[in-house]
Amino acid sequence: MSTVLETPRKQTLYEWLTTDTPTSRRQARFCAWYRSWQAFRSNPMAMFGLTILFVLVLVAALAPLLAPHSPFTQDLAARLTPPGEGGYILGSDSLGRDILSRLIYGSRITLYIVSLVALMAPIVGLFVGTAAGYLGGWVDVTLMRITDIFLAFPKLILALAFVSALGAGIENAVLAIVLTAWPPYARIARAETLTIRNADFIHAIKLQGAGSLQIITRHIWPLCISSLVIRVTLDMAGIILTAAGLGFLGLGAQPPSPEWGAMISAGRKFILDHWWVATMPGLAIFIVSLAFNLLGDGLRDVLDPKKSSK
């Protein structure tokens, strides 16, 4: 009696991502990412925040196509037009400029500030924190005392001092925010490093002849990334508010740039009779800040290695 040889069934992508027995390091990494995405997707509030931020990025990228008017063109005959009248969906400001168009273009400035701060501040904090935690001794004492000095001042007050010294402008505002935002990341990186530096695998790497720089960059930094990503996402709301505060005081993006904080500052004189001039950019700041907070909470649930699984 003849036997029929069955052809092995080709594994689907879903089966490849959800297998409990990965056959390579690459597959194991993708499986871990997919499980993290599934855990994140199960959080509706985190997905809501991610959706808002995705829409924000899309709006910023397509600003010339989405804006119904130029954000800079003035029409004094249509100044302070209420929402929904005269072709102004969200109304116009004191110079007759369309508020919706200025909000759309202002999203570019917001993303520009957030992106630069999110790239620069954690890197500075990671350098300082891991060096202090791993090297210890006088290096740790010196770096942490400098960190304590920065933490002793309120962020907005310290940012105001730096901007006053550097001069008004969006680039100087970003630099000032970075200089005030790195200390918490340094503290987190130092705490993570202190729990790692005496681990058995670190001692094994030392016995193989690895130097301090190699150990910090190749073995300690990757273990600190998840904690820093969570903190960065949760800090984005504060960064947006600090940038808006600098713009409100005239120290951030300069006129006629459609920066949301500067728009609130320009509309505060009309808040009682023409509420929409200051309210619309205020709502934009509130919505984006809320989205970052929701996204940060979701990432914390997924990425926090100390969080017990449910």
Q: Copy the structure tokens of residue 100.
A: 């919706």
The CA distance from 45 to 30, in Å, is: 24
pLDDT on residue 309? 45
Do 49 and 234 meet the contact criterion of CB atoms below 8 Å apart? no
pLDDT on residue 1? 46
The CA distance from 143 to 190, in Å, is: 10
Tens digit of each residue's pLDDT (9 = 90 or more) over 203-236:
888 888 878 888 888 888 888 888 888 888 888 8
pLDDT on residue 307? 55
Tens digit of each residue's pLDDT (9 = 90 or more) over 68-121:
999 998 988 889 999 988 889 999 998 999 999 999 999 999 999 989 998 899
Question: Minimum mean pLDDT among 23-32, 239-248, 257-266: which range?
Answer: 23-32
Q: Copy the structure tokens of residue 267.
A: 């509309």
- In whole angstroms, how far apart are CA 143 and each of 137, 138, 251? 10, 8, 30
Please state the domain extents for the chain.
Answer: 111-303
Query: Hey, which CATH number is domain 111-303, 3.20.20.70, 1.10.3720.10, 3.30.930.20, 3.40.605.10?
Result: 1.10.3720.10
Tens digit of each residue's pLDDT (9 = 90 or more) over 127-162:
999 999 998 889 999 999 999 999 888 888 888 888
Q: Copy the structure tokens of residue 14.
A: 């879903």
pLDDT on residue 15? 76
pTM: 0.85
pLDDT on residue 33? 83
